[in-house]
Structures are given as structure tokens and as C-alpha cells.
């Protein structure tokens, strides 16, 4: 088990939002996190990443687990003089490795990620000069450069055009297969969930509970159907 949560209660400022819930992530899985805006999806993955303290329960990580995170809205300061390649290479820095020269392997991984996400022509362009969709591709390339064992991606393709989105998911699927990477993706796109994910987690804000299981089980669950009955016939 890469990361597991037991009786986890999440929330802000002492106010519980969800839980208690228990779940675990195994190597090579692809999870989709579904739920309405404001349901607590981002709070959940930020708690799992230890960016927020849990209100109850425990999270246990495998020793020396390599984590990756692609935030929903990266509000990076655009004053930073940072080229696309510089930012992608940031993914290679882990722990205190920033003191050392980057290894040829990490540079090769960064270049491969840049190529895979069709960023080659933009490699020397300043990050701040990119469109929002291009920025999301850069952050995805940074995530891949870090070669994480477990990566959390919070709505990673919302600003991408359809082609770029498809390409991004294909790249992630390849990465998962090649490196047995575990991906946890927050999305509102049920068709993508069906196509790529094997596990799903539905955050039900009305009942303040979480449904966990295979994609088919979660999409067929009573809680999900009740909430998304109006789109059920069309998308699920």
C-alpha cells in the first residue's frame, strides 16, 4: 500500500467537512475523484498530501514515498523569470537534491515529458507568457519529471482544448503503465473516468459521505445516481 487513510475526517478550522472515511492506494491504480464543486474533493487530496491537517483519523504513507501534486489552480507568481523548461525541471528536485547538479536521468525525463506533452516549441518561452491550457500542460510535464509513485491531479485539464486534453490523458495512461504510477485525478468528466480509471471516489456533499469502489460500482451507486440522475442517461 502506497498511502492509506483510516477513519479520516477532513475539514477546515476544526469544522468537519467529510468523514470518517477509509481508503488505500495500491501501485498502478488510476483513481477518479468525482463530486460537485465545493464538495470537499480538493480538501480531501490536500489532506492526503499532508498539506492540511486531518481533523481525525490517520494517514499512513509507505517509507520514502515519492508524491506528486498538480493543483487545481496554480496561482504562481508570474514575476518569476522562469522558462517552461526550468519549471518542468523543478519536478526533478526532491528533498535536498536541489543542492546537487541535476542528474542526466532527470534531465532526460524532463525532455521526454516536454516532448510527450508537445511543449518542445515552448521550452524556452517564459511560463508567464503561456495560455492557461499551456500552463496546465507544463505543470503536468513537471509532475511527470518527478516520476512520482503516487500523483494527485486536481482538475488538471480544465483549461485545455479537447485535443490537448486527450493527449494529456493518453500520456498519463502511458506513464502509469510504464512506471506503475498511481494516479488520483479529480475530474467532472465521467466519460474520461470510465475510459481511463479503474477506481473511483465519489464525494457526496448532500449526505456528507464518500463512496469508494471500482468506477462501475461508484457510478452505479445510489448516492451517485441520486445526485447525477439528470446526466445519467447522457454521460454515464
- How many chain residues interact with another protein (CB under 8 A)? 27
Residue whose entry in the numeric block shows the C-alpha cell 451517485: 224
Interface positions, 85-104, toward another protein (CB under 8 A): 86, 90-91, 93-96, 98-99
Single out the segment in contact with another protein by CB under 8 A; choices: 3-11, 78-86, 168-176, 202-210.
78-86
Specify the residue, 37 or 124, whose C-beta has the smaller distance to another protein. 124
Residue 72 or residue 221: which is nearer to another protein going by CB? 72
Residue pair 173/204 in contact (Cβ under 8 Å)? The answer is no
79 forms part of the interface with another protein (CB under 8 A)? yes
Dihedral-angle region of residue 15 (phi above 0 means left; psi in -120 to 50 means alpha; beta otherwise): beta
Specify whether the CB–CB gap between 87 and 70 falls below 8 A.
no
Q: How far is CA 97 from the centre of its chain?
A: 23
d(CA 134, CA 139): 9
For residue 111, state whether it binds another protein (rule: CB under 8 A): no
Judge residue 182's burial from the number of C-beta atoms within 10 Å of its C-beta, 0-12 exposed, 13-18 middle, 19 or more buried. Answer: buried
By CB under 8 A, is residue 205 in contact with another protein?
no
53 binds another protein (CB under 8 A): no
CB of 231 to another protein, least distance (A): 32
Q: Which of 51, 174, 220, 229 binds another protein (CB under 8 A)?
A: 51
Q: How far is the CB of 45 from another protein (least distance, A)?
A: 11
Number of neighbours of residue 53 by Cβ within 10 angstroms = 8
Q: Which of 14, 37, 53, 81 touches another protein (CB under 8 A)?
A: 81
3-state secondary structure (DSSP) of residue 201 = strand
Report the residue count for the chain: 236
Give residues in contact with another protein (CB under 8 A).
49-51, 67-69, 71, 74, 76-77, 79-83, 86, 90-91, 93-96, 98-99, 124, 126, 146
Amino acid at each position: 500500500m502506497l498511502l492509506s487513510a483510516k477513519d479520516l475526517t477532513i475539514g477546515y478550522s476544526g469544522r468537519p467537512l467529510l468523514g470518517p472515511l477509509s481508503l488505500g492506494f495500491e501501485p498502478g491504480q488510476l483513481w477518479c475523484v468525482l463530486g460537485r464543486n465545493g464538495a470537499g474533493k480538493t480538501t480531501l487530496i490536500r489532506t492526503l498530501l499532508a498539506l492540511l491537517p486531518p481533523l481525525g483519523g490517520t494517514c499512513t504513507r509507505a517509507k520514502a514515498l515519492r508524491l506528486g501534486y498538480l493543483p487545481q489552480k496554480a496561482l504562481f507568481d508570474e514575476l518569476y523569470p522562469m522558462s517552461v523548461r526550468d519549471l518542468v525541471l523543478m519536478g526533478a528536485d526532491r528533498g535536498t537534491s536541489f543542492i546537487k547538479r541535476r542528474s542526466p536521468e532527470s534531465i532526460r525525463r524532463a525532455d521526454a515529458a516536454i516532448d510527450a506533452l508537445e511543449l518542445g516549441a515552448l521550452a524556452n518561452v517564459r511560463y508567464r507568457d503561456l495560455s492557461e491550457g499551456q500552463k496546465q500542460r507544463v505543470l503536468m510535464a513537471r509532475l511527470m519529471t518527478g516520476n512520482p509513485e503516487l500523483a494527485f491531479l486536481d482538475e488538471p485539464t480544465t483549461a485545455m482544448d479537447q485535443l490537448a486534453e486527450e493527449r494529456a490523458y493518453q500520456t498519463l495512461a502511458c506513464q502509469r503503465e510504464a512506471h506503475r504510477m498511481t494516479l488520483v485525478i479529480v475530474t467532472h468528466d465521467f466519460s474520461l473516468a470510465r475510459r481511463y480509471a479503474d477506481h473511483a471516489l465519489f464525494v457526496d456533499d448532500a449526505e456528507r459521505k464518500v463512496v469508494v469502489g471500482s468506477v462501475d460500482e461508484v457510478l452505479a451507486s445510489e448516492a451517485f445516481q441520486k445526485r447525477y440522475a439528470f446526466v445519467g442517461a447522457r454521460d454515464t
